[in-house]
Structure 1
């Protein structure tokens, strides 16, 4: 590919979203000043001067910040945009004050006087975009959020320099207007929409109906939220990505347009066609353009636009044909519907389809999609680039601009995991790729609120021109900032975690927790890990030693519990191996011993320590869902949405345990009964001399799983017990020989 073509492609994207729609300098500066007050309080906030000056980016055209002052004078933060100024503020708090802003709790103890910036520090980002979110994040993490929680997240985004993010709330209310205007009935629309916890897959055409319907009150609340989200994002100078029409329609569209060319796709995710098998309009059908244009017109009328739109036609679904001509037409139809309404439209496409089904997406098929949109008007997310980059096998997406993304997490799982070295080196390698069309970096997890060290590194890389030179030193500094003090034990613990759970490479790095603890039991469970478990146990010990000095630090208590949770997860694997070996060797006493410890000691101890922190409570999770409702019937529907998502996912365990979490209440009433039934079945098998039958066990355990989902049991929403004390008791009783007793 010629360098000139690359330059043309990048030129479109450098201009996309820029201009008056993001707000003027004064508005963005005011937004950042308000953030400083929310973050630090009005008193400390007075020590900072914030301004937004577009001229700072005159030389590079890229977001730039400048820091100066301090040391008795006000700290002066200037940015070319509100996002750049917020990122500059975060840089000062992080590198000069030793502070940290994180999901689990921020450490913001400012030194007095504020440290001086010795020489004015000016930093320009190396790329146009720092992107955030995965379509699935909306369902796995954001689904029940109110405005207060959204405000916190948008502040986190601004501080981490995010300037491009999905803003997809409220779109179903717009779709309802469109479909009613086209002649569908309310009942046909209600039947089509999924429930709130499954909207991500309804939006991508994977699902319909399951978990629904959506209520009028849901639509009203989501419209309200979307307006506030967009207003705040734009006030910082962020570019919100709005949704567009990808071609998926309700089955009832054929009643209104009987001549419409609609084809049913295959099923998805082990669902049958009652909930899957999307209906896709043929690209040449005039109804395609009608619906796509009408939706975008109505959406822009309601929310305005920043000219970047997201749509995914073939996410985890095989197209009707592999013929390049069909794929070109299907792609072009989506884009044409956009530019009919917004001639400046840029299409943000998740590149997951090329990664998920590489056997279908050969080079002719990839070229057909990427070439169907003018150069620079398709912005591709290389969604899983830290593990399986697509840009390397598509000649940098055939010249279309792309964003190097870290996906990291699947399903919002708990479980310590990361590939920090691959993340650290990846963006630079993509930038150096021949004729690279990389225009940004991205954070694209399916679920947030876990493994914060991974996200801290990725956010920092969005502003670095080179990889972090020494990750061991970086993670030690991360620990010191996180806890507000440099301490030998905590820093050593984090270096052990860096070389173990955060040092994944190769096929193991799918970012999904496959621990036996959170999976339906069987005799074929895989307990292998890519690291030495002793490193986790030693990190656990070191954190417990440090605990006496850090008991009031929220992030430390979170980390201690999280590492304790991980250690118990490792112990479950070890006791499972003992139990399986005992069963295979027909050693009943050994089976009873290992199984008894696992079910009646270890899992209850895990549930108890999880109960000591509100961030690990099933009750808190379910209460968020119920809190959105305006009636008991609605509250019950939302709670069932949450229970299904965490466990069976679909009515028959269609995507079983995919979105697994380790929460107090879930361990006690879902994982523990499953393990109890499994081990009792093994004991009965030995005692009666009959083979264990997995399919018979699956039928029985499904009743246990379903009973949890359908239960109306309420769970505590306030923590009970002391995390440090409970973690220490588990350590002293269960940590492997050679570690225990050394606190």
Structure 2
């Protein structure tokens, strides 16, 4: 296909995935009405009128909603150019007129009576075509064990937040199995290739194979059925699901069936050896490339239909076999051509992480080769980590290819209060005004969800704004009021402190990954430096507790109180660790015993106890999700072990150790605490015997504890125990005065 102008390319993207029939409008309006009933109940939902009219966006082609009514008119009228636009308009009304709030942890939906009037008809259009959601890794770090009930909640959240472009990658292994069997691979060869469920994201990007597998037959059947449900619901709102495509990675067994096939064995990834890494990449000119690529996409679209946007990542965190622009262009063109062979309207969604992750390899010529190998407008690039390390600024706006400005924010699904709020607030507007900008959307691309909900609330709002929020302090104050259902000076002040501290990271150091000593294998070289004043966290903790008598029954408040208590305990672990290290280096045995004893036998057990009071922070709840996805006890044990590995060792020998760390009750008690006990005990023994601490020997010893946790069959409670407010107050009264007195 000949290259088209940027304007024409962007025009094509404006039309991608858009339905125009009256049937589409009726279906999308019905989907939003059903969402209303799930959200508010049938009685309150009857007070809203929902209509979808494509003509509302006829001029711009951009999602638009219109609000009117309420007050004396009783019924609130919501009209959207798509179902997603109508849902976003509905949430705008609930949020800004009713003071409501919808989040992963809980929702606050106390509607005023009568419903507030919209003073004058309000019409709002998004400044960009797309509001994107997900990272390929989110599928494994957060979604892997979800059933339809949980997916339904998420898609509702997506619709309310105006998301209209999202990955839909469930069930693809079942399609690949059909393709591989048709090509002549045996079932055992296919089983040896697929990873376990918790690691499929990296098998899909060619980083891994085999590790944690094989996939049971029941997995394929259930995921196929689930994918149909996901796609049907996404499309009912007018969302555009992004399906997977062939990126060039193949099982080694392909070389048995086709001995002359031209493949390159890639290098290892993530500290894995070639038993689980070193994938095989088809040469772009090999005749099998278009055959396999088109076979897969034909089978996939036959099963699931298509909305013409496909995701594929050939060189994710892997150095290509050649830096020659001609090779990189050919490899890119081969992926795209395999798509268009089946779907002439195909648009390729590419994660731009590769350009950011290995900048020493991806110079201007190499980047240009990839971007120029696909017709302009048919490669839609995700600038995945734009809030911290944007790529569009050093590639002349991806050399004319359209891109989506994304906030990555979270790595591995870590707990830990974190954000780069100022960069997030300013970033999309700056990108839109960049010279010759080809920005066509904003996106949320976390590796894991279910944390730092304020950050995602802000990013979702920015998807509908042309300009940044003018006053983030005022915005976060309103956020606190909506979240808890009313004005409270203490909570407002607490959130403003968090905004200026944990949520105010700036510069290249803001990785978004929690590297607190709490969740890392102990050593004497751990970094406790933070970008904020810890006193702000402790003071926010105090302020939240002052409002507990009023808000103790509010679910969002209880969740936030626990989360801030968890963060305060994380800070305390760092402070006690510094005491332990200093005492050891100064050979002060008594001081070492005191600080180490408090850390191991008081603070960590207290943290585990408070975490156990909320089901969002239970290891038992996390593992129960995995077990519930199984159809037999043997399968349940297998899935649970997959999940335990991902949380801790990641690979068989700690290959990506503690990357996906969480702070769960049970995990603190039986994984983090034993490591700290061994560490403190080893330091004490070192001083007593006057021998140096040997990190290498400690790593070997502590690995036995880590592996024992992964292989354990111990069951953990999946129901909360204890009262969050009482336990948080108890921990506060014990440690806050010590910190203020400076005795730590």
Normalising TM by the smaller chain, what interval? over 0.9
Shift of 1:20: 5.3
Report what 2:330 is aligned to: 329
TM-score by length of 1: 0.99
- CA deviation string 1:588-640 (max 9, x = no partner): 00000000000000000000000000110000000000001011111111000
Shift of 1:715: 0.3
Alignment of 1:176-215 (within 5 A): 176-215=177-216
- CA deviation string 1:151-210 (max 9, x = no partner): 000000000000000000000000000000110000000000000000000000000000
SS in 2 for 1:506: coil
Report what 1:584 is aligned to: 585
Report what 1:463 is aligned to: 464
SS in 1 for 2:390: coil
Give the Cα–Cα distance (whole angstroms) in 2 for the partners of residues 80 and 714 of structure 1. 49
Give the 3 Å change call, closer, same or farther, for CA 25–660 of structure 1 in structure 2: same
Contact conserved, 1:105 with 1:554, CA < 8 A, in 2? yes
Give the 3 Å change call, closer, same or farther, for CA 738–580 of structure 1 in structure 2: closer
2:55 aligned with 1:55: yes
Shift of 1:328: 0.2
Give the Cα–Cα distance (whole angstroms) in 1 for the partners of residues 648 and 207 of structure 2. 19
Give the 3 Å change call, closer, same or farther, for CA 192–86 of structure 1 in structure 2: same
Shift of 1:215: 0.9
- CA deviation string 1:536-592 (max 9, x = no partner): 000000000001111111111000000000000000000000010000000000000
Alignment of 1:588-599 (within 5 A): 588-599=589-600
Report what 2:294 is aligned to: 293
Report what 2:13 is aligned to: 13
2:282 aligned with 1:281: yes
Report what 1:444 is aligned to: 445
Give the Cα–Cα distance (whole angstroms) in 1 for the partners of residues 92 and 397 of structure 2. 31
SS in 1 for 2:107: coil
Shift of 1:245: 0.1
Report what 1:694 is aligned to: 695
Give the 3 Å change call, closer, same or farther, for CA 724–86 of structure 1 in structure 2: same
Shift of 1:241: 0.1
Shift of 1:21: 9.4
Unaligned runs of 5+ in 2: none
- 64-73 or 381-390, which deviates more: 64-73
Contact conserved, 2:127 with 2:464, CA < 8 A, in 1? yes
Contact conserved, 1:538 with 1:739, CA < 8 A, in 2? no
Give the Cα–Cα distance (whole angstroms) in 2 for the partners of residues 466 and 435 of structure 1. 18
Shift of 1:736: 4.8
Give the 3 Å change call, closer, same or farther, for CA 237–522 of structure 1 in structure 2: same
Report what 2:422 is aligned to: 421
- CA deviation string 1:73-99 (max 9, x = no partner): 200000000000000000000000000
Give the Cα–Cα distance (whole angstroms) in 2 for the partners of residues 40 and 300 of structure 1. 36
Shift of 1:64: 0.2
- CA deviation string 1:106-143 (max 9, x = no partner): 00000000000000000000000000000000000000
Give the Cα–Cα distance (whole angstroms) in 1 for the partners of residues 148 and 21 of structure 2. 22
Give the Cα–Cα distance (whole angstroms) in 2 for the partners of residues 632 and 570 of structure 1. 40
Unaligned runs of 5+ in 1: none
Shift of 1:10: 1.2
Give the Cα–Cα distance (whole angstroms) in 2 for the partners of residues 510 and 546 of structure 1. 33
Give the Cα–Cα distance (whole angstroms) in 2 for the partners of residues 94 and 149 of structure 1. 23
Give the Cα–Cα distance (whole angstroms) in 1 for the partners of residues 347 and 518 of structure 2. 44
Report what 2:24 is aligned to: 24
SS in 2 for 1:735: helix
- Root mean square deviation, CA, Å: 1.2
SS in 1 for 2:658: coil
Alignment of 1:259-270 (within 5 A): 259-270=260-271
Contact conserved, 1:22 with 1:306, CA < 8 A, in 2? no
Alignment of 1:447-596 (within 5 A): 447-596=448-597
TM-score by length of 2: 0.98
2:665 aligned with 1:664: yes
Contact conserved, 2:100 with 2:108, CA < 8 A, in 1? yes
Give the Cα–Cα distance (whole angstroms) in 2 for the partners of residues 533 and 638 of structure 1. 39
Contact conserved, 1:23 with 1:237, CA < 8 A, in 2? no
Give the Cα–Cα distance (whole angstroms) in 1 for the partners of residues 13 and 676 of structure 2. 52
Contact conserved, 1:32 with 1:85, CA < 8 A, in 2? yes
Give the Cα–Cα distance (whole angstroms) in 1 for the partners of residues 574 and 662 of structure 2. 16
Give the 3 Å change call, closer, same or farther, for CA 452–611 of structure 1 in structure 2: same
Give the Cα–Cα distance (whole angstroms) in 1 for the partners of residues 741 and 295 of structure 2. 66
Shift of 1:58: 1.1
Runs (4+) of structure 1 moved beyond 2 Å?
19-23, 736-741
Contact conserved, 2:389 with 2:508, CA < 8 A, in 1? no
Give the Cα–Cα distance (whole angstroms) in 1 for the partners of residues 663 and 286 of structure 2. 48
Contact conserved, 2:57 with 2:64, CA < 8 A, in 1? yes
Give the 3 Å change call, closer, same or farther, for CA 300–277 of structure 1 in structure 2: same
Q: What is the total number of aligned residue pairs between the two structures?
A: 739
Give the 3 Å change call, closer, same or farther, for CA 587–21 of structure 1 in structure 2: farther
